[in-house]
């Protein structure tokens, strides 16, 4: 956890610009599971310095990996990554198996006042969830809603999950409060883009800045537009894909980052 003095300093300031990142970390292993890269991943995330991090494929527990790999942390991966930089975090356990479990996580510099993980699995063979955190950003008069998602591999499953996402937002996110939805949408056909923009009236960060969603997969030479950042009630100032070295050595996805200001 961060020192108390540092937290008090953060809370005393007014935040005018918000830097976020989203990253499918492939359970802490490099592409094709060749090596454990969790320590390198933590170093690179810290160098990026986002205020809020949306993570997918985060290993909460894996008993066999803990025995087999030197450097496997004693704590969960999200606690290991958050340590001393992001004092607040939430984890949504989605896929559960005999060796452990994995899911989504949100790390934050600012207080998470409420969070919940919602099961949006569309088929018993693939467990998926949306992790919704409410964050109190210093100086903001409204809560920031952050939703981390990892949608299914098949289009019909993703459609059900997007409808579940919309219903969740309509029930629990007031229209005047800012919202960020980020994660791995597995959406190479752009169906999610059309639904999120036309049906849910959201803006995609990279479309706002660069005219189209980011190419983020595979990280060595990104071709597919799988990862997205959608927003409401915020102004997009910049958006970046972090591809090439050293990111291509860490995960099969490239992380995305964006900077926002209040609308």
Q: How many Cβ atoms from other residues are within 10 Å of residue 151's Cβ?
A: 27
Give the span between the Cα atoms of 255 and 68, in whole angstroms.
27
- Give Cα 243 to chain centroid, integer Å: 17
Q: Is the distance from CB of 248 to CB of 27 less than 8 angstroms?
A: no
Strand duo 100-108 + 88-97: pairing: antiparallel
- Please report the pLDDT score of residue 258 as a whole number: 98
- Please report the pLDDT score of residue 32 as a whole number: 72
Domains and CATH numbers, the chain: 17-262 (3.60.10.10)
Strand order in 203-204's β-sheet?
112-119, 129-135, 144-150, 179-184, 227-232, 203-204
Which residues of the chain fall short of a pLDDT of 50?
1-11
């Amino acid at each position: 956890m961060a020192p108390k003095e540092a937290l008090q300093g953060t809370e005393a300031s007014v935040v005018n610009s918000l830097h976020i990142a989203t990253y499918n970390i492939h359970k802490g292993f490099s592409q094709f599971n060749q090596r454990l890269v969790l320590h390198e991943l933590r170093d690179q995330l810290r160098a990026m310095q986002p205020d809020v991090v949306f993570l997918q494929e985060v290993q909460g527990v894996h008993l066999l990996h803990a025995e087999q790999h030197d450097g496997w942390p004693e704590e969960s991966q999200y606690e290991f990554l958050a340590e001393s930089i992001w004092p607040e975090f939430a984890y949504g356990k989605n896929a559960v198996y005999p060796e452990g479990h994995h899911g989504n996580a949100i790390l934050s510099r600012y207080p998470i006042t409420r969070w919940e993980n919602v099961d949006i699995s569309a088929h018993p063979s693939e467990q998926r969830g949306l992790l919704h955190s409410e964050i109190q950003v210093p100086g903001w008069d409204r809560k920031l809603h952050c939703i981390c998602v990892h949608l299914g591999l098949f289009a019909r499953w993703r459609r059900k999950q997007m409808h579940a996402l919309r219903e969740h937002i309509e029930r629990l996110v007031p229209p005047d409060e800012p919202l960020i939805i980020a994660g791995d949408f597995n959406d190479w056909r752009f169906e999610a883009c059309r639904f999120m923009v036309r049906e849910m009236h959201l803006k995609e960060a990279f479309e706002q800045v660069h005219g189209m969603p980011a190419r983020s997969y595979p990280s060595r030479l990104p071709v597919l537009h799988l990862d997205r950042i959608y927003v409401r009630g915020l102004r997009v100032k910049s958006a970046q894909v972090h591809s090439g070295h050293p990111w291509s050595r860490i995960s099969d996805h490239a992380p995305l980052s964006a900077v926002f200001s209040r609308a």
